[in-house]
Amino acid sequence: MADFTHFDREGNAVMVDVSEKAVTERVAVPRGRVFMKPAALATIANGGHKKGDVLSVAQLAGIMAAKRTGELIPLCHPLPLDKVTVSLSCNAADSAVDIEATVKVTARTGVEMEAMTAVSVAALTVYDMCKAVDRGMRIGDIRLVRKSGGKSGTFEAD
């Protein structure tokens, strides 16, 4: 089993030293979902929400969050992101908003946390904007589905 990288031998929290790593292009793609009542999803899909375009606002929130990840996640390196995209779509079959982010950087460390933060904050924004319509919404299925670059190479989720 691999050791946790954010602790020293005494168990103290440490920021990983990436100074010896090669600068490479790194990409991370996670997905997540916000499950809700069909009526709430229909309101989003029809653009009839009183607060405005839920998907566009959540998209922007996700992009902004990716850029601030180094301030939000302890020990996370602040990175000069090259690209951040966040897409949201209504999935009527599962009564959910599906969210996917793609984050790209050319750096010494990966962008998994930035990408996961983008999806998480986009999901939270959907919840915040729609909670008056459906307080029973559930955020879930947030996970890394693909990453490339760096020493560990490519990862594809099952």
Q: Active-site residue among 82, 98, 128, 141?
A: 128
Nearest of 120, 111, 15 to residue 61 by alpha carbon:
120
Kindly list the distances between the CA atom of residue 61 and the CA atoms of 9, 110, 124, 152, in Å, as whole numbers in the listed order: 38, 21, 9, 30
Sheet strands (E) in the chain: 24-35, 83-91, 96-107, 138-148, 155-156
Instruction: Reply yes or no on whether 128 is catalytic.
Output: yes
**Annotated active-site positions, please?**
128
